[in-house]
Structure 1
Amino acid sequence: MSHRLLLLLVLLLSCGPTAGRPPPAATPRLKLAFPELRARHGLQLFRLERSCCYEALLLDEERGRLFVGAQNHLLSLALDDISQRDRKIYWPAPVEWREECNWAGKDITAECMNFVKILHAYNRTHLYACGTGAFHPVCAFVEAGQHAEEPTFKLDPQRTEDGKGKSPYDPRHAAASVLVGEELYSGVATDLMGRDFTIFRSLGRRPSIRTEQHDSRWLNEPKFVAVFWVPESEDPDDDKIYFFFRETAVERQQGLGKTSFARIGQICRNDMGGQRSLVNKWTTFLKARLVCAVPGPDGADTHFNELRDVFLLQTKDKRNPLIYAIFSTSSSVFQGSAVCVYTMADIRRAFLGPFAHKEGPNYQWVSYQGRVPYPRPGMCPSKTFGTFGSTKDFPDEVIQFARHHPLMYNPVLPHSQRPLFLQASVPYTFTRIAVDRVTAADGHYDVLFIGTDMGTVLKVVSMAKESWHHMEPLLLEELQVFQDASPVTSLQLSSKRHQLYAGSATALAQLSLHRCGAYGKACAECCLARDPYCAWDGTACTRYVPNTKRRFRRQDIRNGDPNMLCSEDPRRGSVPQKQLYGVEGSTAFLECIPKSLQARVLWMYQRTPDDPKQEVQMDERVVQTERGVLLRSVQRADAGLYLCHATEHGFTQPLLQLSLEVIGARQVVGMAPAGDPQLTAGPPSHKVWYRDFLQLVERPPVGTAGRACQRPWSRGRSLPPPRAHAGPPGRGHGEEPRRARRRRTHEGPRAERRPRSASPW
């Protein structure tokens, strides 16, 4: 065996289905298409003519407005209904900038526009917005008023400023930034070609500072995703800014080509740069790898390396928020997306660990074992960790060590050492995430809203299995919010108004965080949904409001046991009934569709109501489908009662009772003509009640086809026999043979035909 074949075998064994294989894709409990969301569940849409790309969303609860950055426009929409009371600012790029952009080889209709990428609340009355400006980044202050009733929304085009280092040049490039006080911290490309990526501080009174230029150890082709400000202690001098991005890994193994790693970077907010080295450059910049992987045997993990979006969930302690991040994979072995959760304690532990160092004959990355200078690189100058008043006072050895060792050796591992939620082998990829912490009757739950590149939003509930260290995800809904399946590019939610806002390249969508009535009309269905937003109020599944004194509120998210909660439901035990008829030898379909897609359908059968129930056995003749059971060839023994049950979360509830009556094909033998091989001999005088009706359906009498289908009939009422001259040729008594009648009809003149008769109905 050649060396190449041996290597291929090793790779297949290590990356095969037994090594770190992700679990199968989760099925949503409820799946709602776009038309149903629009018609029944209040989905609102907003589109602007001659515009697109609703990427920058800023939700302002105090003003009750949703501020939006789009192509050539700034928008102010009402949070209660984005389709009402909209205000617009037309903000195009100047004509000379567009012409220069076109001369540079860009598409004047698609790229040489002003795509608004940055939108922040600057103070109580103004916003700060930045756009691409037809490859001339530009920023401006927007007056938005102080109160909700103020109609102010305007931009002074004479007071624009350079957007370099704040907004990208290219509309295809992403930018991440946060406005803290009067200072803007951005991760962005600062050149026209998109090669000089930097973490940049601008605005404010302090000098602008950036990362080291053209040094792959600091940043190596990064794609910035999100930026957050997190306080470290009671002293504001310890505050840090955290950047989330993905980049080409410098510590990748030789010969494996480019490998993308997810990163978290930190800088001190009071960093002023060095005195003699790293002047106007960050002296506290450090970065670590973010790991999101499915643990496998023998250390063969399934890694999700492509960081897509990050959401910072605030807790009661502002210094310790939860970090929710979504990832995808570029692996050729499998395709999927995952959500991983990180704590600030684990992040800080990684930055306090050993530094990564490149040494040895093969220049491998190892843990640095030498002496680390004081103060430790990455520490902020404050009274908490020393007597240094500024980074300009740091010794030269600290500055030099920080320049050459920006990478930490230990990665940041997710909570529980594995993804919270993942989907593999599905036709979509996660793109955006927003998280809402919901108060329920039995505790607090984090509800995840995940946007995909197929225009859908997934609603996932995270709940503790035994403790907080073992979380269990539950996929509640899959919602098609955009009809054209355009990718979700932005997500914002309002906990106060219970609304979700999603942006794409083509439209803005607004949808309620809950659809309690869609789960069903029974207490068990509401309980099994395990939706923290919903509860059973005694008559319907409605929105749960904490601290209410209503007696019949029923909610149990952790267990979801209807046996404990729904004993008082007056409709419990009542099962809808339906009568079906089947002809022996033909097919019959027993339809039963549960509300929940996660429910398993169980079919029981009994010959008579007094007989014991037995499970319906599936085989080649009896086939179970997603919508019910198909009997390929009905037999007399199939007659009886069929009970459809739904089993979900350990609870079984009856959904439907079907009574199947089988009509024997041998009963029509007496009506068969001589020589018909389909029917055997029988009593010549016996005539089946439905035989004439089947003949009418096959060929209605002349002049009666239009009216025969208009007249309804009721079950149990005998059908009137068709007249001999009006009925189609059949196999009954006294009827003319088919060939003789056909020959007489074609040979005789048209005038000699019998006149049309009235309908036998």
Structure 2
Amino acid sequence: CRVCGFGAWLYSFTLSCLELKSTGTAHHFAFLLNSTDYRILRMDEDHDRMYVGSKDYILSLDLNDINKEPLIIHWPVAPQRRTECVLSGKDINGECGNFIRLIEPWNRTHLYVCGTGAYNPICTYVDRGQRAQEYIFRLEPGKVDSGKGKCPFDPKLNSVSALISTYPFILYAAVYIDFMGTDSAIFRTLGKHTAMRTDQYNSRWLHDPTFVHAQLIPDSAEKNDDKLYFFFREKASEMGQTPMAQSRIGRICLNDDGGHCCLVNKWSTFLKARLICSVTGSDGIETHFDELRDVYIQKTQDTKNPVIYGVFSVSGSVFKGSAVCVYSMADVRMVFNGPFAHKEGPNYQWVAYQGKIPYPRPGTCPGGTFTPNMKSTKDYPDEVINFMRNHPTMFNAVYPVHKRPLVVRTNVDYEFTTITVDQVAAADGNYEVLFLGTDRGTIQKVIVLPRDDLQTEELVLEEVEVFRVRSFFMFPLHFQQLYVSSVVGVTHLALHRCDVYGEACADCCLARDPYCAWDGKSCSRYSANQKRRSRRQDVKYGNPIRQCRGYNSNANKNTLETVQYGVEGSTAFLECQARSPHVSIKWHFQKENSDRRREDDVTLKTEIMDAKNISLSSQEKI
């Protein structure tokens, strides 16, 4: 069984693999015995389907009945191509297959799918039918085209893509576009526009990048201002220093047609800035989490201002650590509107450019708010094009909200690698729940609560071991389920397991899980439609004294107390399993003819010597 235990970090109990499966909150799928690498998932809400890309296969699952037999397309490479790949020495770890790396909806009836093609990327169209009830899922014959600039040659290299739904569709991809994996580019293909890319082998633009995420974020009500943002990490170096990892946010205008002279068929609006995620020690020195691992864009009512969540880890081997930082689009735009970075030569450090900025400002979109009379980037003057080629980097960096990480982990044996965020409405307010994947195959469910002193309180609600592999991918929540993919299969998890918090109101309240509330009989899924008198939930403070009167007969002002009596000189088995990581448990011994109670550590087996009574107190940790 590959879906394994529950519990761990702050919990004092665990659920085994079989116990977790018996709750009905987690299901694992390993669809094909001869396939691996179920990396790509794509939700299709119109058809209620989920598409899965693996090695040589494309699958279609019914979201209404995930256990139903999937529709399967077998799409291997030709035997001759596989032979050529093996002879080139590229099959050390089984890379000479067709690893699906891109699945995008093309229209209401077709998907656009690309695979590595045994180091010769290929793309095609998949007919998914007009309606879900048709159960059509097949390759379109004779419609295979090149995947260069859309999909990597090497399945181990990350790529990100965005299919922009203008007509005809335009595909933007950040990808390595050569056999050896040395030429990285942000590429534009398909559609009526000419193929575009970043400046080739120019380390000022891209230097050994690892691409993480791509997202269209509008700048204003004017469509010509729309920009596509890319998140990646790359190597950067100062004078005489060894190149170090730096995290970046880059952007391009969607209507960029390239320049002239030195930037023909190359982006003339590409800019990038550094993303900072760091903590300051007592000595004033910053510890940087330099390596961006994953990004989640939380949509808001204002489409121009989503919230950006980034997961970072520490580069180097001095210590292991990771963090989650949150950024605002207002701060991002302020940096891109600020000074450009300038460097005279290899022996100079980066400084803010002090010269005259040409008009229109480099990075501005043609026909937009500030350039209404310019219809194309090909109309930009030579000085703008030359400036762009040599100054793609902003001098200022983007700092997180409140200038500090939201979550930090140091001195632990794992790192965060992926993130998904859910907005949850609870009885005492709205909360953002973070699902953080780790490199040991677990997912932590975390909330961060604001405090009155401008500080925050982090709560780890649960930790679930999903795979016994180091690398996996999480996807946006759908139908109150979290979908996770890895080399061994796909797992979908319910967002809550309220019944594991125990059978008492206090246990449910102390869990402080915004998904769960005491309904008068059990700890169950919270619903805003329930009668207020019958539900008990306190996420912010977790105060069972206030919430659970009437459900705990021994409740008093400070503790919830249970009294257990023993026989003098005998041995008793005292079992107490905390159902919340936010509970402290203390045993109190009161000797005969004494009014004073002595506090001892918790033990599972305690010998009762001259004891009048033993009481157990459960209270919130402070």
Q: 1:285-296 to 2 correspondence within 5 Å? A: 285-296=270-281
Partner of residue 510 from structure 2, selected from 528, 539, 559: 528
Comparing 148-157 and 204-213, the one that deviates more: 148-157
Partner of residue 246 from structure 1, selected from 228, 233, 237: 233
After superposition, what is the alpha-carbon deviation per residue over 1:451-496, rounded to whole angstroms, capped at 9, x for unaligned? 12222111111333249x75543211100122xx11342212434x
After superposition, what is the alpha-carbon deviation per residue over 1:676-696, rounded to whole angstroms, capped at 9, x for unaligned? xxxxxxxxxxxxxxxxxxxxx
For residues 147 and 317 of structure 1, what CA distance do their matches in structure 2 show?
32
Q: CA deviation at 1:144?
A: 1.7
2:48 alignment counterpart: 64
1:123 alignment counterpart: 107
Kindly indicate whether residue 521 of structure 2 is the aligned counterpart of residue 561 of structure 1: no
For residues 135 and 543 of structure 1, what CA distance do their matches in structure 2 show?
48
Kindly indicate whether residue 396 of structure 2 is the aligned counterpart of residue 410 of structure 1: yes
Partner of residue 396 from structure 1, selected from 382, 399, 409: 382
Q: CA deviation at 1:360?
A: 7.7
> What amino acid sits opposite 1:236 in the alignment?
K
1:429 alignment counterpart: 415
Kindly indicate whether residue 584 of structure 2 is the aligned counterpart of residue 612 of structure 1: no
Distance 1:146 1:433, change over 3 A: farther
For residues 372 and 394 of structure 1, what CA distance do their matches in structure 2 show?
13
For residues 439 and 59 of structure 1, what CA distance do their matches in structure 2 show?
24
Comparing 105-114 and 453-462, the one that deviates more: 105-114
2:23 alignment counterpart: 40
> What amino acid sits opposite 2:192 in the alignment?
R
1:233 alignment counterpart: 220
After superposition, what is the alpha-carbon deviation per residue over 1:561-608, rounded to whole angstroms, capped at 9, x for unaligned? 222222232666496666667968xx9864433112342222211125
Comparing 188-197 and 542-551, the one that deviates more: 542-551
Partner of residue 474 from structure 2, selected from 488, 491, 496: 491
Q: 1:429-468 to 2 correspondence within 5 Å? A: 429-466=415-452
Partner of residue 380 from structure 1, selected from 349, 357, 365: 365
Kindly indicate whether residue 463 of structure 2 is the aligned counterpart of residue 478 of structure 1: yes
For residues 529 and 476 of structure 1, what CA distance do their matches in structure 2 show?
7
For 2:263, what is the secondary structure of its paired residue?
coil
Partner of residue 154 from structure 2, selected from 150, 170, 186: 170
> What amino acid sits opposite 1:187 in the alignment?
A
> What amino acid sits opposite 1:642 in the alignment?
I
Asked whether the equivalents of residues 89 and 155 of structure 1 are also in contact (C-alpha less than 8 Å), the reply is yes
For residues 16 and 271 of structure 2, what CA distance do their matches in structure 1 show?
45
Distance 1:447 1:29, change over 3 A: farther
For residues 346 and 30 of structure 1, what CA distance do their matches in structure 2 show?
43
Partner of residue 103 from structure 1, selected from 72, 87, 105: 87
For 2:111, what is the secondary structure of its paired residue?
strand
Distance 1:455 1:600, change over 3 A: same
Q: CA deviation at 1:337?
A: 1.4
Asked whether the equivalents of residues 340 and 393 of structure 2 are also in contact (C-alpha less than 8 Å), the reply is yes
For residues 150 and 343 of structure 1, what CA distance do their matches in structure 2 show?
44
Q: CA deviation at 1:220?
A: 0.3
For 1:140, what is the secondary structure of its paired residue?
strand
1:183 alignment counterpart: 170
Distance 1:35 1:337, change over 3 A: farther
Q: 1:580-729 to 2 correspondence within 5 Å? A: 590-608=574-592, 611-617=594-600, 624=601, 628=603, 636-637=609-610, 639-649=611-621
Q: 1:310-329 to 2 correspondence within 5 Å? A: 310-329=295-314
1:150 alignment counterpart: 134
Task: Report 1 or 2 for greater relative contact order, CA contacts < 8 Å, sequence distance ≥ 6.
Answer: 2
For residues 540 and 590 of structure 1, what CA distance do their matches in structure 2 show?
24
Asked whether the equivalents of residues 502 and 508 of structure 2 are also in contact (C-alpha less than 8 Å), the reply is yes
> What amino acid sits opposite 1:401 in the alignment?
F
Q: CA deviation at 1:59?
A: 1.7
Q: CA deviation at 1:615?
A: 3.0
Distance 1:527 1:40, change over 3 A: same
Asked whether the equivalents of residues 52 and 506 of structure 1 are also in contact (C-alpha less than 8 Å), the reply is yes
For residues 30 and 371 of structure 1, what CA distance do their matches in structure 2 show?
64
Distance 1:81 1:459, change over 3 A: farther
Q: CA deviation at 1:27?
A: 3.0
Distance 1:34 1:306, change over 3 A: farther
2:519 alignment counterpart: 537
Q: 1:77-92 to 2 correspondence within 5 Å? A: 77-92=61-76
Q: CA deviation at 1:122?
A: 2.0
**TM-score of the superposition, structure 1-length normalised?**
0.76
For residues 128 and 93 of structure 2, what CA distance do their matches in structure 1 show?
30
Distance 1:28 1:120, change over 3 A: farther
Distance 1:146 1:426, change over 3 A: farther
For residues 319 and 635 of structure 1, what CA distance do their matches in structure 2 show?
66
Kindly indicate whether residue 339 of structure 2 is the aligned counterpart of residue 357 of structure 1: no
For residues 275 and 446 of structure 2, what CA distance do their matches in structure 1 show?
22
Distance 1:470 1:203, change over 3 A: farther
For residues 347 and 541 of structure 2, what CA distance do their matches in structure 1 show?
55
Q: CA deviation at 1:536?
A: 1.6
Kindly indicate whether residue 261 of structure 2 is the aligned counterpart of residue 276 of structure 1: yes
Distance 1:148 1:566, change over 3 A: farther
> What amino acid sits opposite 1:151 in the alignment?
Y
Asked whether the equivalents of residues 561 and 618 of structure 2 are also in contact (C-alpha less than 8 Å), the reply is no
> What amino acid sits opposite 2:498 in the alignment?
C
After superposition, what is the alpha-carbon deviation per residue over 1:69-100, rounded to whole angstroms, capped at 9, x for unaligned? 11111111122443323111111111111000
1:207 alignment counterpart: 194
For 1:528, what is the secondary structure of its paired residue?
helix
Asked whether the equivalents of residues 320 and 414 of structure 2 are also in contact (C-alpha less than 8 Å), the reply is no
For 2:135, what is the secondary structure of its paired residue?
coil
Distance 1:113 1:229, change over 3 A: same
For residues 297 and 16 of structure 2, what CA distance do their matches in structure 1 show?
29
Distance 1:138 1:326, change over 3 A: same
1:506 alignment counterpart: 488
Asked whether the equivalents of residues 236 and 245 of structure 2 are also in contact (C-alpha less than 8 Å), the reply is yes
Asked whether the equivalents of residues 295 and 308 of structure 2 are also in contact (C-alpha less than 8 Å), the reply is yes
> What amino acid sits opposite 1:246 in the alignment?
R
> What amino acid sits opposite 1:402 in the alignment?
M
User: Could you list the runs of 5+ residues in structure 1 that have no partner in the other structure?
Assistant: 1-24, 618-623, 651-761
Q: CA deviation at 1:61?
A: 2.6
> What amino acid sits opposite 2:127 in the alignment?
E
User: Could you list the runs of 5+ residues in structure 2 that have no partner in the other structure?
Assistant: 1-7
Partner of residue 367 from structure 1, selected from 342, 346, 352: 352
> What amino acid sits opposite 1:58 in the alignment?
R
Query: Please, what is the CA RMSD of the aligned residues?
Result: 2.4
For 1:444, what is the secondary structure of its paired residue?
strand
Distance 1:527 1:30, change over 3 A: farther
Distance 1:569 1:390, change over 3 A: same
For residues 390 and 570 of structure 1, what CA distance do their matches in structure 2 show?
72
For residues 265 and 460 of structure 1, what CA distance do their matches in structure 2 show?
29
Which of these two proteins has the greater Rg computed from alpha carbons?
1
**TM-score of the superposition, structure 2-length normalised?**
0.92
Asked whether the equivalents of residues 73 and 138 of structure 2 are also in contact (C-alpha less than 8 Å), the reply is yes
For residues 294 and 339 of structure 1, what CA distance do their matches in structure 2 show?
11
For residues 504 and 582 of structure 1, what CA distance do their matches in structure 2 show?
57
Distance 1:258 1:277, change over 3 A: closer
Asked whether the equivalents of residues 31 and 477 of structure 1 are also in contact (C-alpha less than 8 Å), the reply is no
For residues 493 and 418 of structure 1, what CA distance do their matches in structure 2 show?
25
